[in-house]
């Protein structure tokens, strides 16, 4: 072997294969590639060869990629672990409420320290012997039941305004009569057609010798209107047709705001006790326009609307007396 052949073998891989075949007494040109092996398995098991400066050249079609000492690749081993157990999912329609509770959810909740959900209890329907047949009664008897459940026995409903969860809402005061309510007999003296049920407070309430009657604790049941549509249509006029007294214009606005126009049409008698902002918040005087606007949007059957304020009443009386004196002069 010459030095030239040895030098060229450093740059060309073909002479190196011939030299290695002569040393091992095996010629790679006569060998045929083994086609029985799985190409995908050999490719996965054979480590990749990297070069520092140059890319590896592709071999000739007649040459094999395997070296004489390279063993055959082993077949791929199967997985030794099993698939994770998962609950089967069903997209069928649920017929009962018990199937809504999935047992797998309870196990997952226990892992995170969350209390498991309780199955809803099934409520059995009442037997027919315990259901009161109110709709089988005559209309006169049903009206008596509505009157007992929805009307105040003192003849009027007193409504004030409270703040509940940062919202103003109208609240009925069942412990009335209140200390600032007086007798409204002077309204009936001028116009008997606007007579309302007398409030159970003496006309001499503002005198020192007056004795306030004990408060009543009558309770109304407006939830009766939510039983069915027929009861709502029959009982709504009885609830809203009775005289209603409001603490101020803000209470009237809080009462009218959630009412639909159909319920406002049943209002008949409204009395606003305080109209001046000095009795409460100074901003309450602005609720007069808003409350009257709501009354105009549906309260078409309103017969009486009173704004009761003794201070303004006295001023109007003085102005009327002065006008009469000027006419006489």
295, 305 contact by CB (below 8 A): yes
Q: What is the pLDDT of residues 205-217, one digit of tens each?
A: 444 555 555 556 6
Please name the residue ranges forming H helices in 174-248.
185-190, 229-240
Q: Which of 198, 159, 150 is nearest to 178 (CA)?
A: 159
* Residue 13 confidence (pLDDT) above 50: yes
Do the bridges between strand 244-248 and strand 157-164 make them parallel or antiparallel, or are there none, so unpaired?
Answer: parallel
Q: Which of 172, 185, 258 is nearest to 216 (CA)?
A: 172
Give the residue with greater pLDDT, 51 vs 167.
Answer: 167
CA dihedral of residues 243, 247, 251, 256 (deg, nearest 10): 10
Do the bridges between strand 167-172 and strand 157-164 make them parallel or antiparallel, or are there none, so unpaired?
Answer: antiparallel
Angle value at C-alpha 251, between 144 and 229, nearest 5 degrees: 35
DSSP secondary structure letters along 60-99: PTTS-SS-TTPPPPPPPPPPSSPPPP-PPP--SPP-SSGG
How many residues are present in the chain?
329
Q: Is the dihedral of CA 289, 255, 157, 178 positive or negative?
A: negative
Arithmetic mean of pLDDT, 43-71: 52
Q: How confident is the model at residue 138 (pLDDT cuts 50, 70, 90)?
A: very high
- DSSP β-bridge partners for residue 192: none
Arithmetic mean of pLDDT, 265-286: 67
Cα first-last separation, the chain: 156
All residues at 6 or more sequence positions from 196 whose CB lies less than 8 Å from its CB, including other chains:
155, 156, 184, 187, 188, 243, 269, 271, 304
* Residue 61 confidence (pLDDT) above 80: no
* Residue 238 confidence (pLDDT) above 60: yes
Ranges of each domain in the chain: 137-320
C-alpha span between 209 and 186 (Å, rounded): 21
Do the bridges between strand 269-274 and strand 304-307 make them parallel or antiparallel, or are there none, so unpaired?
Answer: parallel
C-alpha span between 256 and 99 (Å, rounded): 45
pLDDT score, position 89: 72
C-alpha span between 319 and 13 (Å, rounded): 127
Arithmetic mean of pLDDT, 2-20: 56
């Amino acid at each position: 072997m010459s030095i030239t052949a040895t030098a060229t073998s450093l740059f060309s891989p073909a002479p190196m294969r011939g030299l290695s075949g002569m040393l091992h007494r095996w010629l790679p040109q006569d060998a045929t590639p083994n086609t029985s092996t799985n190409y995908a398995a050999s490719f996965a098991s054979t480590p990749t060869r990297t070069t520092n400066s140059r890319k590896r050249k592709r071999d000739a079609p007649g040459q094999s990629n395997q070296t004489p000492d390279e063993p055959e690749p082993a077949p791929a081993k199967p997985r030794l672990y099993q698939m994770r157990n998962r609950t089967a999912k069903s997209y069928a329609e649920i017929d009962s409420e018990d199937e809504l509770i999935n047992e797998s959810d309870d196990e997952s909740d226990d892992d995170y320290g969350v209390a498991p959900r309780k199955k809803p209890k099934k409520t059995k329907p009442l037997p027919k012997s315990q259901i009161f047949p109110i709709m089988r009664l005559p209309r006169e008897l049903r009206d008596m039941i509505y009157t007992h459940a929805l009307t105040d026995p003192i003849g009027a409903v007193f409504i004030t305004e409270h703040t509940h969860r940062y919202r103003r809402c109208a609240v009925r005061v069942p412990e009335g009569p209140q200390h600032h309510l007086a007798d409204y007999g002077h309204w009936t003296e001028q116009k008997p057609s606007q007579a309302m049920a007398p409030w159970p407070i003496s006309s001499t309430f503002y005198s020192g010798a007056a004795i306030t009657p004990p408060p009543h604790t009558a309770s109304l049941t407006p939830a009766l209107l939510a039983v069915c549509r027929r009861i709502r249509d029959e009982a709504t006029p009885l609830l809203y047709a009775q005289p209603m007294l409001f603490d101020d214009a803000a209470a009237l606005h809080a009462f009218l705001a959630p009412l639909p126009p159909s319920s406002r049409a049943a209002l008949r008698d409204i009395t606003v006790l305080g109209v001046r902002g000095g009795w409460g918040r100074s901003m309450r005087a602005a609720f007069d326009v808003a409350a009257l606007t709501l009354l105009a949007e549906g309260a078409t059957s309103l017969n009486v609307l009173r704004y009761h304020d003794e201070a303004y009443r006295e001023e109007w009386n003085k102005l009327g007396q002065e006008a009469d004196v000027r006419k006489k002069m």
